Every structure is written in structure tokens, then in C-alpha cells.
Amino acid sequence: MKKIILKVEGIECEGCEKRIQNTVKMVDKVQEVVASHEEGTVSVMVEEGVNESEIKEKIEDIGFKVKE
């Protein structure tokens, strides 16, 4: 297991956090997701072999911007 921390623009409330969490949880090999509007981050616990770009893509598909 490893932890991925992404900086994400546009997380403004708990509703945004829940949308991101529910979306990212659908990605294969994702174990836990915690989005924080206060910090502007999304922390994802994943199994080995997860496709990090798929996680970023899912977040951007629902209207948020992942910063590099």
C-alpha cells in the first residue's frame, strides 16, 4: 500500500469532498480516499499497481483541477 497526495483546485465544501471521494473510490485498487477543502488536497491509499493518472483523470472529469 502507498499513499498518494494530490493538490486539487476547486474543492470548496464538504459536498465537493464527498463527490471526489465517491468518484475516486470507484478506481480499481483504491482503498481509502480523504479529500480536504481546507487544505486543497486529496489523499489516496492505494494497492501496488494502481494507475495514478486514472485517479487524476477521474478528479478532473468531475470539474476539479489537479495541480502538478
Residue spans per domain, the chain: 2-67
**Fold of the CATH domain 2-67:** Alpha-Beta Plaits (3.30.70)
The H or E element spanning position 53 is: helix 52-61
Task: Express each pLDDT in 5-43 by its tens digit.
Answer: 999 999 999 999 999 999 999 999 999 999 999 999 999
Task: Express each pLDDT in 41-50 by its tens digit.
Answer: 999 999 999 9
Select from 68, 17, 11 the least CA-distant residue to 40.
11
Q: What is the pTM of this model?
A: 0.93
Q: How far is CA 29 from the centre of its chain?
A: 13
